[in-house]
Structure 1
């Protein structure tokens, strides 16, 4: 017997259960999705224990067709022929897959997760024909939630003798999630809401559903439906994330401060933009100057080194020639000495006419 049945047992007027009847848990569809070109099948591994392996199958009566499997150590594998139409989403450990669907892909899909020590977790998803997908109805009340807090939805129903079925569900876009489905003999809690809900029926014919640790994924249209021997009743709630502006203190005119703030922010944004532009130009100029100076310095260094090498080479050759033949005319120092001395003697000669 589940803990949800324990709550129901506190208020026997809900189903007028006999003493020898107990609510048994049974597998039912956790989610209903409208068939589209691309269908997202969400398994959402809840991190309850260590995951050993995750697998997807399509159920066709008693037969099961393997679609994909994911193992934390060995990675993912998609079976033929689904390897042409199925891909794991970015976070494979969550188990969510994307299916490029056709009309033949209508049916039941089951995600099973083997965990330790929790055991096997099952989630059943029905992909149905768009014509059979239920239409949403106008909400009776609006509820705002704060992520991380709890959300409580209450439904007061007329005083009746007995309730034959009670259902809570959430509609978001093209999918419907079953939260609670209870009959006098069976109870069902949706896969995504296990260990997150509290369900209580008060003596004054008021049913409340509390969901703990709500997130933005809990946004949608919730409905509570009751079937009785005297008729049925439904109440819907439009649940959305609480607007942060609603927590601000009231002002006479909310639009004026907003416009002034935007106008005041425009010059600051322009200044930042100009600062970034001039900064980029200055940085580019500095890099260009450094590059040119570096190239010139390297070129001059190479040229100076080449000149020193040539000078040393010429000096070495000249010394070698002197050592080989000091009286050779090819030695410019030896050859030039006599000539320069003879020229001095000619310049000093004296001529006289008698």
Structure 2
């Protein structure tokens, strides 16, 4: 089933979704991040088709500034001056980069992935001033998820004639992910949620959002905001991992960390012992060589223990016992 069919009937006359959204200062924004000393820009490769090349750029009006490129065959390249502040995180194929940011790094960033046969995949991230980053509000409902299952969030709103705008978004830490942003004239689905969501408006004025195959990365505060001719409504959901599974993940992480620590300590001890043994062998060989050289240089020297300890036969010949006789 095509992902477009999930949205039929959302608004009267709205049947096709266009990749467009207006978000105050920026357009086509999939994620909003608060400016910090270190900013993580995420562009997870969805493994749709074969990756040909992945690239990062910063958009300044109509101009684009190259940041980094990753090619599966040729590796990665980071362009000046970002080679002083940008690094790829772990596996370059994921596309995530770390930016040591300053105030000059505010702006709109674009990640593009050329794939075959899917074509070009685009993700846009806005890095904004901390003062403009919205604050989270208290959740109206709490929802627990099980990784691998389906999560459904429902929002019932008063019966009104028309909806001017409807937005679902997720806040986690210092970043906001846009899930959907829909108006009667345009629609937008976030990069990280394509092919993974169902969005249905039922006749009883109930709007539900369903996300398939949820993971621990889907934890956060979700909010649904509806703007109508008669007022605005917002509902929030605090989504967390189910208790038992959460404890399992915590204990699993602790066990893994302990195992890594033990392995590290054992490795350090083994390396230290190996170096110490090697140093002792080297010292022993050095001392043996020095004694050998001393013997060759002066065989009669008292520093030579073999010579020093050897009895002197000439001295022993003259050591005679005195004999006394009475005549």
Give the structure-1-normalised TM-score.
0.65
Alpha-carbon distance in 1 for matches of 2:37, 2:17: 45
Out of 270, 294, 298, the position equivalent to 1:297 is 270
Shift of the 159–68 alpha-carbon distance from structure 1 to 2, 3 Å rule, reads same
Shift of the 345–293 alpha-carbon distance from structure 1 to 2, 3 Å rule, reads farther
Alpha-carbon distance in 2 for matches of 1:34, 1:326: 81
SS in 2 for 1:45: coil
Following TM superposition, by how much is the alpha carbon of 1:3 offset from its aligned partner in structure 2, in angstroms? 3.8
Following TM superposition, by how much is the alpha carbon of 1:299 offset from its aligned partner in structure 2, in angstroms? 29
Following TM superposition, by how much is the alpha carbon of 1:226 offset from its aligned partner in structure 2, in angstroms? 0.3
Shift of the 142–65 alpha-carbon distance from structure 1 to 2, 3 Å rule, reads same
Aligned counterpart, 1:116: 116
| Structure 1: runs of 5 or more not aligned | 244-270
Range with bigger deviation, 63-72 or 298-307: 298-307
Shift of the 292–101 alpha-carbon distance from structure 1 to 2, 3 Å rule, reads closer
Contact kept? 1:45, 1:94, Cα under 8 Å? yes
Write out per-residue CA displacement over residues 237-257 of structure 1, whole angstroms, 9 at most, x where no aligned residue. 0000001xxxxxxxxxxxxxx
Contact kept? 2:19, 2:28, Cα under 8 Å? no
Shift of the 160–23 alpha-carbon distance from structure 1 to 2, 3 Å rule, reads farther
Following TM superposition, by how much is the alpha carbon of 1:203 offset from its aligned partner in structure 2, in angstroms? 0.5
Shift of the 352–311 alpha-carbon distance from structure 1 to 2, 3 Å rule, reads farther
Shift of the 13–162 alpha-carbon distance from structure 1 to 2, 3 Å rule, reads farther
Range with bigger deviation, 293-302 or 21-30: 293-302
Aligned counterpart, 1:268: none
Alpha-carbon distance in 1 for matches of 2:132, 2:23: 30
Following TM superposition, by how much is the alpha carbon of 1:7 offset from its aligned partner in structure 2, in angstroms? 2.5
Shift of the 172–19 alpha-carbon distance from structure 1 to 2, 3 Å rule, reads closer
SS in 2 for 1:139: coil
Alpha-carbon distance in 1 for matches of 2:26, 2:307: 122
Following TM superposition, by how much is the alpha carbon of 1:38 offset from its aligned partner in structure 2, in angstroms? 0.2
Contact kept? 1:109, 1:125, Cα under 8 Å? yes
Following TM superposition, by how much is the alpha carbon of 1:96 offset from its aligned partner in structure 2, in angstroms? 0.2
Contact kept? 1:24, 1:186, Cα under 8 Å? no
Following TM superposition, by how much is the alpha carbon of 1:150 offset from its aligned partner in structure 2, in angstroms? 0.3
Query: Is 1:308 aligned to residue 281 of structure 2?
Result: yes
Shift of the 109–344 alpha-carbon distance from structure 1 to 2, 3 Å rule, reads closer
| Structure 2: runs of 5 or more not aligned | none
Shift of the 280–341 alpha-carbon distance from structure 1 to 2, 3 Å rule, reads farther
Alpha-carbon distance in 2 for matches of 1:108, 1:326: 84
**Which ranges of 4 or more aligned residues in structure 1 deviate by more than 2 Å?**
1-27, 271-354
Following TM superposition, by how much is the alpha carbon of 1:54 offset from its aligned partner in structure 2, in angstroms? 0.1
Whichever structure has more helix as a proportion of its residues is 1
Aligned length: 327
Alpha-carbon distance in 2 for matches of 1:142, 1:69: 41
RMSD: 12.5
Shift of the 344–336 alpha-carbon distance from structure 1 to 2, 3 Å rule, reads farther
Give the number of the structure whose alpha-carbon radius of gyration is greater: 1
Following TM superposition, by how much is the alpha carbon of 1:160 offset from its aligned partner in structure 2, in angstroms? 0.2
Write out per-residue CA displacement over residues 280-328 of structure 1, whole angstroms, 9 at most, x where no aligned residue. 9999999999999999999999999999999999999999999999999
Following TM superposition, by how much is the alpha carbon of 1:28 offset from its aligned partner in structure 2, in angstroms? 1.2
Alpha-carbon distance in 2 for matches of 1:106, 1:55: 19
Alpha-carbon distance in 1 for matches of 2:21, 2:283: 112
Following TM superposition, by how much is the alpha carbon of 1:73 offset from its aligned partner in structure 2, in angstroms? 0.3
Contact kept? 1:11, 1:203, Cα under 8 Å? no
Alpha-carbon distance in 2 for matches of 1:308, 1:39: 51
Alpha-carbon distance in 1 for matches of 2:129, 2:246: 53
Contact kept? 1:27, 1:188, Cα under 8 Å? no
Shift of the 287–351 alpha-carbon distance from structure 1 to 2, 3 Å rule, reads farther
Contact kept? 2:20, 2:28, Cα under 8 Å? no
SS in 2 for 1:168: strand
Shift of the 26–52 alpha-carbon distance from structure 1 to 2, 3 Å rule, reads farther
